[in-house]
Every structure is written in C-alpha cells, then in structure tokens.
Amino acid sequence: MESKDVSWEDVSKKAQELNDFEDEYRLEKISFEARCEELDNRAGELRSLVDAETDRMSFILQRFSASSDDAADYFSEMENLLWRSEQAYKRRLAG
C-alpha cells in the first residue's frame, strides 16, 4: 500500500474550508428561515383578509335578506383566490 504524506498545512487549509462552508450554510439557513417566516406571515394576513371580506359579504347578504346563492360567484372567487395563494405559497417554499 502506498502511504500519502499529509502536512499540517493541508489539514489546516481543509479545516478552514470546512469552517467557511459551515458559516455559509448557517447564513443561508438563517436567510431561508426568514423567508419562510415572511411567507407564513403573508399567507396568514391574506387568509385573515379573505375571511374578513367573506364575513362582510355574509353580513351584507343578511342585511338585505339575500341568500348566499346571490353571491355564489363571489364566495367561489374567494375560495379560488385562497387555493391559488396556497399553491404559490407551496411553490415558494419548495423553491
């Protein structure tokens, strides 16, 4: 078998490279976690806004003695908006 001479300088250089990669990983992880938190917050805000708008529409329908069928397109569009938002949210988290 052939033995390979390894100098402390080589070991030290590789150890420094590893430390640099670990530092870069930690910074990227912090950045990723911050982006995830921002996405979570924005998704929550959107859900709250849509819920508030849906509640307002329900109040208006009740106030004018209308049925929910009168605003079926509106409620469908709100559900569609939330679904599209959820899909975009999942794509952003995956990418």
Q: pLDDT tens for residues 48-59?
A: 999 999 999 999
Is the predicted pLDDT of residue 14 greater than 80, yes or no? yes
Scanning the structure block, which residue is given the tokens 């952003």? 92
Share of the chain above pLDDT 70, in %: 96
Question: What is the Cα–Cα distance from 5 to 82, expressed in whole angstroms?
Answer: 62
- Give start and end residues of each alpha helix (H) in the chain: 8-63, 72-94
24: helix, strand or coil: helix
Sign of CA dihedral 33, 39, 45, 51: negative
| Whole-model pTM over 0.85 | no
